Structure 1
Amino acid sequence: MSDINMTPLIDVMLVLLVIFMITAPLMTASLRLDLPKSEAATPSDAPSVIAVAITPDGQLHIDDQALDAKAFQQRIADLGRANPQLEVQLRADRSVPYGQVAELIGWVQAAGMNRIAFVAQAAASAP
């Protein structure tokens, strides 16, 4: 017999393909908790995004527009009713107390928006 039997080779390659298909998504899943500085601090490219920021003095901003707490809650509620799938990109200064950030997240969730992204500054790369 002068032909090579390809069936065992194909079987082995299919098994390897299945193994790599199963393990590849598990290797990319990771949780980064270093919010103030992050290696992968890039805003998402979601089509409907609103930027919410809180400054060290507690001033609230929606898309670079400064608002007081009551106006902020009203505006975020209006935006939540208009589009509940809206992604909120939260930028909080490092010196803002966690309680104020948690309160802001509560207002956003009360408005019906559950997609909240924390935006962090990219870590300084070493020369």
Structure 2
Amino acid sequence: MQLQEDKPYDDINITPMLDLAYVLLVIFIIMTTAAVQGVKVNLPKASNQPSLAKPKTVAITIAGDGKVFMDAVPVTMAELSERLRQKKAQIPDLPVVVRGDTTAQYGNVVQVLALLSELGITQLGLVTQRLVQ
């Protein structure tokens, strides 16, 4: 077998380069997973007091026939006002959600919203259903 010496060398062997890339990739993966594990420490226990817990949300429901419910208990507008005042005194940032039936009179919903505005309740949400397409 005879070698051709006058032919230029135009093929580059990339196998050693790929071997090096794979080795570097494996080293990178091993070092990253080792760094994520971290150091074990004994964490302190928190107290059992619910001081950081969010206050319970009050749900006001307006039925299609005009009846008003506060947390599933039927109430009149006067009772609703009084109960909300008491809850607002206990929790200044009282969150309230209003659920109105689709057949409920618009005036009933506005009346409840006006009452919430009078009491200074600003954390308010209106519950709707997701539109299915």
Common topology (TM > 0.5): yes
Which residue in 1 is equivalent to 2:73?
65
Unaligned runs of 5+ in 1: 1-45
1:87 equivalent in alignment to 2:95: yes
Distance 1:111 1:78 in 2: 11
How far 1:67 moved relative to its partner? 0.8
How far 1:84 moved relative to its partner? 2.3
CA contact (8 A) 1:81 1:111 kept: no
Which residue in 2 is equivalent to 1:112?
120
Unaligned runs of 5+ in 2: 1-52
Which residue of 42, 54, 77 maps to 1:47?
Answer: 54
Which residue in 2 is equivalent to 1:103?
111
CA contact (8 A) 1:87 1:116 kept: yes
Aligned length: 80
**What RMSD in Å do the two structures reach over aligned CA positions?**
1.7
Distance 1:111 1:82 in 2: 13
Which residue in 2 is equivalent to 1:56?
64
How far 1:64 moved relative to its partner? 0.8
Work out which structure has the larger RCO, using CA pairs closer than 8 Å and 6 or more positions apart in sequence: 1
How far 1:119 moved relative to its partner? 0.6
Supply the AA of the counterpart residue of 1:56: G
Runs of 4+ displaced beyond 2 Å? none
SS in 2 for 1:51: strand
TM-score by length of 1: 0.57
- The higher radius of gyration belongs to 2
Output one character per residue of 1:1-23: Cα deviation in whole Å (capped at 9) or x when no partner: xxxxxxxxxxxxxxxxxxxxxxx
Taking only the aligned residue pairs, the percentage that are identical comes to 22
Distance 2:120 2:91 in 1: 9
Greater per-residue strand proportion: 1
How far 1:88 moved relative to its partner? 0.6
TM-score by length of 2: 0.55
How far 1:83 moved relative to its partner? 1.4
